[in-house]
Amino acid sequence: MRLALAPIPFFWPREAIVEFYNAIADTAVDIVYLGETVCHKRRSPALADWLAIAEKLVGRGKEVVLSSLVLVDGEAELKATRRLCENGRFLVEANDMSAVALSRRTPFVAGATLNIYNEDALAILADTGAMRFVASLELSGEALASLRAAGPPGIECELLAYGRPALAYSARCFSARNADRGKDQCEWVCEREPEGVMVRTQEDDAFLTLNGLQIHAAHPINYIGELDTLRRARVDILRIMPQTRDTPLVIDAFEGVLKGRYGLAEGAKRLASLTGGQDANGYWRGAAGRSHIP
């Protein structure tokens, strides 16, 4: 199995992004996804900046993929997607069908937001040029194993193995609405919360996280204890979601277990120290997504 780092879903300052990827260059992650996927109004870094970061990572032996927006609903977003798909250098993760259409002449990665739930959908995307797909979040281990068995051969499978997943998307901006502002007058309020706005229940339990046009889970998925079943389901690549702190430590825990430097118990212990034991594996076990099943 290889390790991949998902694109940063939150709005961080350009300097913080550059510093983050300088640190990632020293980690054992194999694949790095770059780019703005949430909101076209977040225009820093620009595409030229992302390409410069990409070249530095390639120089450190990383495979780089440029990720497209998950929601293209206007001409500006379409132009940005077209520029991304026509970069001429790097593989593109298509997170919207417009990016699939624009990538038809070249191989691409089919993102999780394309909602691939059956072998027919996967076969269509493979025929269109997809050489890898990111499995949909809600698929259980059993369902993904069946999809892999019935799906087209030769296509890689990637799965989110650690991080707070995006659960919902909207053309409206949750962060702006939370600040009592309209989407077009947001003044980039999402930049004030580098890991989103936590939503709590009346009992003060962490429930959801607001992040621009997306709603994320409050607690991370953590599949380090599921590595055997992930292998049996023919998952090729484990995806890790960036966070402001400790991302290199998460990469190290997974890489250490995969390479045998740590036992499974030690790797799980290292991640538990970061999450306080508040993580989830319910989707993979066919249960409620936010649940943790020993």
Segment 96-150, tens digit of pLDDT: 999 999 998 799 999 999 999 999 999 999 999 999 999 999 999 999 999 999 9
The pairing of beta strand 91-94 with beta strand 108-110? parallel
Q: And the tokens for 79?
A: 């132009």
Number of C-beta neighbours around residue 215 at 10 A: 18
Q: pLDDT digit string (tens) for 223-277?
A: 999 999 999 999 999 999 999 999 999 999 999 999 999 999 999 999 999 988 8
pTM of the model: 0.96
DSSP state of 90: S
Helices (H), the chain: 14-24, 47-59, 75-85, 97-102, 119-128, 141-150, 174-178, 227-232, 247-259, 264-275
What residue type is 281 in one-letter code? N
CA Rg value for the chain: 18
All domains of the chain, ordered by start, with CATH? 2-165+219-275 (3.20.20.70)
